[in-house]
Every structure is written in C-alpha cells, then in structure tokens.
Chains A and B, each alone.
Chain A
Amino acid sequence: MNINALAYVLFVMAIFVVHFLFFLRHSPHILPKKLFFAGVVGWCVFIAYDRNLASAIWGLLLLCVLTFGYANASAFLRRGITFALIQNHRMPPAERLPDESFIQIRERITEMENHGWIENGAAQVVLTPTGRKTLRIYRFILRVLGAEVVG
C-alpha cells in the first residue's frame, strides 16, 4: 500500500466533506473552484513526497473525477426540480408555491443565451452555430448510450 496515496486520499476526502457540510449552501457557483484549488495544493504535496509518475497521474485524475462528480451531485441537489417539489410539500398548504412555478422556461432560455447556444431569445429562440454543434454532440452521445430524454 502506498502510504502517501492514503494520506492524499484522506486529505481530499476531508476537504470535500468540509465543503459539503459548511460551504456548499452558501456558494453561488456550481463548480467549486476554491475546493479544486485546495485539492491541487494537496496533490502537489503528494507528488513532492511520492515522486512517481503513475501516482501523480492517478492523484490528479482522482481529484478531477471527484470534483466533476461532486459538482454534478451538488447541482442535482441544489437545482433539481424534484427536490424543490419535496421541499415545497414540507411547507403548510397556505405557504406552498404552485408546483408548476418551479419549472422556469424563461430562466432556461437565459441560461442557453449565456452559454452562447442561442441568439437573444426575447422574440424568437434561434440556435447559434455553437448551439447547433452542442445539439449534434448531445444527440450523438444520447444515441451511443441509448439514453432517452426525460427532463
């Protein structure tokens, strides 16, 4: 067993757990850049001690995969309509919002505009070349994985 790798794993786990417990709810961002940076610092210390290329690649891959998974999971928890519906039904009936109000198509249009996928969507929603390319890639991945769109 690689003791340096074990110390690195414990460090990475610790910073992610601390971020989840104390910082996630206050963060306006989906991608935790500061958390990733803290992980990179840990990785630098790890490779300084370990001095092995295979360990270094594994360590960086672990950090990237964990950050991607964490960002996805936190986005799912924080932006998920289904979770918002559960929270809504926790409220007394008089204080509940209409369930339909959680799906905001106009906000999604703005989001697509910010990504550069569509041109100004005020009157008509028109795909940009980037949007068409994204759509082609999306459909290709769906076809390869045999996935169905249900969102």
Chain B
Amino acid sequence: MSGVFAIDGELWIGFLAATIGVVVSEVIGRGRVLYGRLFLLVGVTVAAWATLRLLGRPRSPEMWVGSLLIDAVSIGAALLAWFGFRVHLSNSITLNLLTMLEDSPTPDQLEGRYGIASQTRKRVAVLQDSGYLDRTPEQMLVINPKSRLVLAILKIARGNRVRPL
C-alpha cells in the first residue's frame, strides 16, 4: 500500500461500506419498496464495514473509539443522503405531477388526474396501518404515543405549524 493509502485509506471505510450496502440492496431488493428493504441496506452496510475493519490493522481501544465515530458519521451521512434521494424520487408530488403533463392539461384537469381525495385517504390509511393514528369508537382519528414521538421531532424541525413549509 502506498503511504497516502496506508495513512488515510481508513477514512474511506465508512463511505465504502455504505456504497456496498446501497448497491447490494438495490440489486437484491429491486422492485421492493424502500422501507421494506431498509434492514437489508443497513445489515449489508454494517457487515461490509465490519469486514473492512477486521481486514485492517489491529489498533488500541482508544483508537477504535475515534475510528468508530468517523466511520459512523461517514456511514450515517451517506445512508441519509441516499435514503432521502430515493424517498424523494418516489414520493415527490411535484415530480409525480411532472409525469402527467405531456398533453398540456389545464390546472383543473391536473388536479383531477392526481386525485387529491384518494391520495389523502391513502396517506391517512398508511398512517393508521403503521400505527401513527388510532381510530376511536366514535370513528375519530387521534394521535398516540408513537405519533407523539414524531411530533416532538417535528416541533424542532417546523415548530407547531400545521401547514407544510
């Protein structure tokens, strides 16, 4: 190994492991929804990281802690970026609308094509199925402890504003 690689190659282990995780999960999990193969993505990344670390030189425990932090941040950043990109590709309303414009519809026609009511029902149903909203005996949808946890994060990110930015 050259001097440069021997000294700094280990900085790249986190990115390399995340790249392996992304490629393997995209190939093996092709066609499955992203949330359904999240464990595959994380599992392969962690396995790749552990393998790359075990192949490296042995080091003292105090060096492990620093290296672990550098790797964790590299992996976390790479997976966050990839996950965000993938979710945005599939879930963006604007990009979805873009696919409906080839015959130049009017705004009203576009609203009809998108189907606001059915899309909203679908999203509410997903929230219910995933355990973020409960239905009371009076058929009212209410939040629960799981959604309160999400609300605590949302309060930091967007305050108490109900409308999207």
Cα-based distance from A107 to B27 in the complex (angstroms): 36
Cα-based distance from A53 to B80 in the complex (angstroms): 25
- Within the complex, the shortest CB–CB distance from B128 to chain A, in Å, comes to 10
Could you say which of A30, A71, A87 contacts B162, with CB atoms under 8 Å apart?
A87
8 A Cβ contacts from A82-105 to B: 82-91, 93, 97, 99-100, 102-103, 105
Interface bin, chain B: 35 or more
Evaluate whether A135 and B81 lie within 8 angstroms (CB atoms) in the complex, with A78-B165, A86-B147, A125-B110 already known.
Answer: no
Once the chains bind, are A141 and B120 in contact (CB under 8 Å)? no
- Within the complex, the shortest CB–CB distance from B98 to chain A, in Å, comes to 5
In the complex, residue of chain B having the shortest beta-carbon distance to the beta carbon of A115: B94
Q: Which residues of A contact B102 (CB under 8 A)?
A: 127, 135
Once the chains bind, are B81 and A69 in contact (CB under 8 Å)? yes
Q: Does B39 contact A (CB under 8 A)?
A: no
Q: Which residues of A contact B150 (CB under 8 A)?
A: 83, 86
Once the chains bind, are B151 and A105 in contact (CB under 8 Å)? no
Could you say which of A5, A69, A100, A149 contacts B95, with CB atoms under 8 Å apart?
A149
Q: Does B145 contact A (CB under 8 A)?
A: no
Once the chains bind, are B154 and A86 in contact (CB under 8 Å)? yes
Once the chains bind, are A108 and B94 in contact (CB under 8 Å)? yes
Question: What DSSP secondary structure best describes chain A's contact surface?
Answer: helix
One digit per residue, 1 when the CB lies within 8 angstroms of any chain B CB and 0 when it does not, for chain A 4-21 equals 011001101100000011
Could you say which of B80, B107, B114 contacts A72, with CB atoms under 8 Å apart?
B80
- Within the complex, the shortest CB–CB distance from B111 to chain A, in Å, comes to 5
In the complex, residue of chain A having the shortest beta-carbon distance to the beta carbon of B80: A69
Could you say which of B30, B73, B141, B158 contacts A77, with CB atoms under 8 Å apart?
B158
Evaluate whether A77 and B153 lie within 8 angstroms (CB atoms) in the complex, with A85-B127, A103-B120, A146-B30 already known.
Answer: yes
Q: Tell which of A55, A73, A148, A151 has the most Cβ of chain B within 10 Å.
A: A151
Q: Does B90 contact A (CB under 8 A)?
A: yes
Cα-based distance from A79 to B67 in the complex (angstroms): 35
Q: Which residues of A contact B98 (CB under 8 A)?
A: 112, 117, 127, 131, 134-135, 138
One digit per residue, 1 when the CB lies within 8 angstroms of any chain A CB and 0 when it does not, for chain B 87-131 equals 111111111111101101111001100101101100110110000
Cα-based distance from A57 to B12 in the complex (angstroms): 10
* 6 A–B contacts, CB within 8 A, in A order: A54-B8, A66-B81, A68-B84, A76-B87, A127-B98, A135-B102
B residues whose Cβ falls under 8 Å from a Cβ of A = 4-5, 7-12, 15, 26, 30-31, 33, 59, 63, 66-67, 69-70, 73-74, 77-99, 101-102, 104-107, 110-111, 114, 116-117, 119-120, 123-124, 126-127, 132-133, 140-143, 147, 150-151, 153-154, 156-165
